[in-house]
Each structure stands twice: as C-alpha cells, then as structure tokens.
Chain A
Amino acid sequence: MRFDVRRVAFGLGVVIVVCIALVALLAPWITPQDPFVQNLEARMIPPIWMDGGVAGHWLGSDQLGRDYLSRLIYGARISMLIGTLVVICSGAIGITLGVIGGFFGGRVDAVVMFIITCRLSIPLILVALTVVSFVGSSLAVVVFTLGLLLWERFAVVARTTTMQVRTLDYISAAWAAGCSLPHILVREVLPNIVHHLIVVATLEMALAILLEAALSFLGLGVPPPLPSWGLMIAEAKDYMYFSPWVILVPGVALFVLVLGINLLGDGLRDRLGAARDA
C-alpha cells in the first residue's frame, strides 16, 4: 500500500485526541499526586530527565511545589471541558441562525447576515476579556462568553449548505407529504448538512481551547488555583529565563492537543467530503 501522509495525519489526530480525552476522564485515578497540594520545600523541581529531577515528580513541580504532571493532567480536563461546552453552546446558536437564514432566504437571510457581520466586527479577545472581567472570572463565565462569541463559522457554513439542499427533491417531497416546518428543518435539512458542521466543530473546539488559554494567560480566564494550561504558563512566566521547561511543558501540551484536533478535523473533512473552505 502507498504511504499516504493524510492517512497518517488523520490517525495521529485520532490517537492524540482519544489519549488526551482518556487522560482527562481518568484524571483522579492516574494523577500521581494531588494537583492542588502545595509543598514549599519542594518548589521548582526540574523534570526527571534533567539534573536535580526527583522520582515521584516526573515533570517536576511549580513555584508553589505542586506536582507539575498532576496539574497538567487536570489541565487536560479544563481544556477538554471548555472545548466541548463552547462548541455545544456556539453550535446551537450558529446552526439555528444559519439554517433559518439559509432556508428562508430573503429578508430573514439579510437579518442573519447582518448579525454575522456585527459579530465579526467585534474584537474577539477584547470583548471576551471585558465580559470575564466585568462579570467575574469562573469556568462557567468563560464557557458562556466564548460560546456566545464563537458561533459565526457555524452560522456561515450552516447557511451556505442549507441553501444548497433547500431546493432538492427530498425537501419538496417532505412538503408534499405534509411534514411540518420544524420537522423539515430538523429531520430533513439538518442530517444532510451535519457532516459540514462536524468539521466546523473541530475547528471551533481548537479555537476555544486556544482562546481560553490566552484569556487565562492574561489573568482573565479560569481563576487560580485551577490548573488551566494557559494559567500555568502565566504563573510560570517569572521563572522561565532560569527554567524554560516551566513554560515548555504546558505549552507543548496545549500545542499537541490543538494540533490533534486540527488533524482530526482535516481528516474528517477529506472523509466526509465537506466543503474545503468550511
């Protein structure tokens, strides 16, 4: 069989995402230590393969003596949780708007397009920071803020693809069979555009995870002492010149997870035959 880069990339994406999802689910059973327990006598221990590494702290410890590997594992929970919840929230908003705009066209569509244009004009990170700061930072606020902001790609793709299917024969057949409008939208239109939307979902999940990390890095995301990867990078920043691994470890974790999701999304796009620019 011919060596195919795309197959390998897709496989790699699946492996990365499944592994990190498992780690996130099993976090309480596989962490070597409690990620919240501080030990001021064991601060800034380097990872095991560096000079001064200690068995038991495989990836070392942070500036408060908390086990870095345990925090990293619990951090996977936060990233996965935020990614999933944001996609559900933004998907619900975006798909509803997009399907309605694409199906009805005309004035309704013009309104939907207008809402999308307005959303695109708003500076994303700035508004997210403002909302989190003024409402108060918590995991739930971050999820809702990002969920309310990241729906526009869902809407754009749902709209275009709905336009393509709305004139097809099975829709006319459903009308003729006396199906109700909600039935047609949910049971006829949605299943025929869902493969495009799955690809968008992977892109948005990756984006949500990166944005959460950026917000937490700026101090207005997930509040401490929760072990968000972005927050770990922010907390470690003061020590990075002497011990670069403190920012390399959470950064690489973030990079690998997002890369895995993107590879998975690209592979799905090829497999499901979704639009290239979705």
Chain B
Amino acid sequence: MLKFLARRLLLAVLVLLTVLTISFALTRLSGDVAVSMAGAQATQEDVETIRKAYGLDRPLTIQFVSWVAGIASGDLGRSYLYHAPVSELIKGRLPVTLTLGATGLVIALCLALPLGIIAAMNEGRIWDRGIMMVAVVGQAMPGFWLGLVLVIWLGVKWQLLPISGVETWTGYVLPGFVLAFSAVPALMRLTRGGMVDALASDYVRTARAKGLTRMSVVMKHALRNAAMPVVAVAAVQLGFMLGGSIVIESVFALNGVGYLAWESIAKNDFPVVQAVVLFLATIYIALTLIADLFNAVLDPRLRIG
C-alpha cells in the first residue's frame, strides 16, 4: 500500500509540474503580453512601464522561475485589472463555484443512481431502453442553451426560480441542474453497467437464494459493488463540472471563479488566467488522487501495479 501511495503521489506531482508549465506557456501565446495588456491606444512608453511593472522585460525562464517560486510561497501574482493579489480574488469567488459544483454533483447523483438502477433491473426491457434514450437525448443538449431556455420559462414566464444571483439557495437550483445535466448520462451508464454485472453475479444469486427480498439484494449487495466505479467517476465529473462552470456562470451571471476567468481572459489579465488554469487543474489532480486512493482502500487488487 505504501509503495502504491508513493507512486501515485509522484505521478500527481509530475502532472502538476507539467500543468504548471502549460498554464505559464498559455498566457505567453500572444507573443507580447505587455502590448495586449496596455491596449490599442497605449504609447510605447506605457507598454514599457507595464513591461517593467510586471517583470515582463526579464527572460522567459526567469519569469517562469519567479512565478513558480511565488506559488511555492503562496503568492499567485497580482491581478492587473483589480490591482489585488490573485489568491484573494480566487478565495473571494470560490464559495460560489464550489457551492455550484457541489449542488451539481448532488443533483447529478440523485438523477443518475436511481435511473441507472431502474434501467439495470429492467435490462433489455422498455424501461431500460427508454432511460438509455433519455441519456442519449441529454448528451446532445448544449448546456448553455438549456440554461437559457430554463431561464426564459421557469425564471421569467412562470417566475418559479430566480434567474441570476445567489442571494438565497434557490439561486443555485437552475445553474446546478444545468451543470448536473452534463454529468448525468456518463454516471447513469456506469451505474447501469455496474448493476447489470452485479445482478448477474454469484453473490447476488446466493443472496436471492437465502430468501432476501429483491429490494434488499439490490440495495445492500449489488449497489455496494456497483457504486465503486461510480464514486471514482463522480469525483472526476466534479472536476469537469468546476472547469465547465465558466459557461454556466456566464449564463446565470454568477460571480464565481469561472466568471473571473472569463473576464480575465477577455481583458488579457494574464496573472489571473494562468493562476485559475493552474488552480482548476490542481483541484482535478487532487480529486482523481483521492478517488484512486479511495478505490485502493476498498479494493486491495488495485494496489498492485
């Protein structure tokens, strides 16, 4: 187990270093960051001032090293637009995005688990086919468009739910649902697949033979085994959701990390952009690490290799 842990941690650190390099390189793609930051009306002098102020006159390697050194001491750089440390900006916006992601995950699991179980219990029959069709249809729905459509009808025409802002918890319902929508088909297919295998297994047959009720067999025996890969994928999906919340936050005008990123990208605020890319990637790496360790604890076979 210790060896597995060490290898898995080493891999995470290597991936993190690569992502660190990529997020730095990304913001240097435009060639001269200082020129795009200064804007169209800027004089040569303005550009030089910005270049000096942000240390962009130094060679790229030095810039990279000082950025990494800053991160190591908890300093993610300063925003050009807000004149504030990037870490404070992210910290301020994080609660909205995390609440949104958590809401999305809960809604996704509440939809995907029951539907997947029902489909597996009726394998090959009309309920199964119907539920799988819903998954195909759901997969084809563009999230941002679904968001707008729900805003028009549920929010404005029928006034059931607020369409923007998060003053009360109801503000999270619509965006959470739209965010969950993207994760439901994958989680549902996985639940169904796992349940179909589990229901056909020997231990389920034994449990049935002992005279246990169908409900107890499905819930206690089959689901427990089918749930393992679902937990791992749910963690990965949460990572995707946090990354994808940039679209949903802009549809529902939520002031989270995604909106911060979009704003900084549109306005060339490169210190914020590279920090947010790195931040979201780190969350994803951490989530997959936790999911892997969780699975290894539950299933000793995974610890080898």
Contacts and interface: CB of A to CB of B under 8 A. Distances in A.
A230 B251 CA distance: 13
Contact of B142 (A117, A220, A251): A251
A254 B144 CA distance: 12
B133 A9 contact: yes
A134 B148 contact: no
Interface in B5-62: 11, 14-15, 18-19, 22, 26-27, 29-30, 36
A125 B244 contact: yes
A125 B247 contact: yes
The bracket for how many chain A residues form the interface is 35 or more
A187 interface: no
Contact of B143 (A126, A214, A244): A214
A262 interface: yes
Given A117-B11, A118-B18, A263-B136, A214 B142 contact: yes
Given A126-B276, A134-B29, A117 B15 contact: yes
Contact of B27 (A117, A118, A134, A241): A134
B19 A122 contact: yes
A73 to B, nearest CB: 19
A247 B250 CA distance: 16
Contacts of B136: 9, 259, 262-263, 266
Contacts of A213: 142, 144-145
Most B C-beta atoms less than 10 A away, residue of A114, A120, A219, A276 = A120
Contact of B277 (A122, A233, A244): A122
A262 B140 contact: yes
Contact of A127 (B148, B244, B268, B277): B277
B149 A251 contact: yes
Interface string A124-162: 111101110111000000000000000000000000000
A75 B137 CA distance: 21
A130 B277 contact: yes
Given A122-B22, A134-B27, A218-B247, A248 B142 contact: no
Contacts of B268: 133-134
A258 B148 CA distance: 18
A15 B30 CA distance: 43
Contacts of A121: 15, 19, 281, 284-285, 288
A251 B30 contact: no
A125 B144 CA distance: 13
A123 interface: yes
Interface string B125-142: 000010001001101111
Interface string A237-278: 100110010011001001110110011001000000000110
* Shortest 3 CB-CB contacts between residues of A and residues of B: A123-B243, A259-B140, A258-B140
Interface of B: 11, 14-15, 18-19, 22, 26-27, 29-30, 36, 129, 133, 136-137, 139-145, 148-149, 152, 156, 193, 240, 242-244, 246-247, 250, 258, 261-262, 265-266, 268, 273, 276-277, 280-281, 284-285, 288
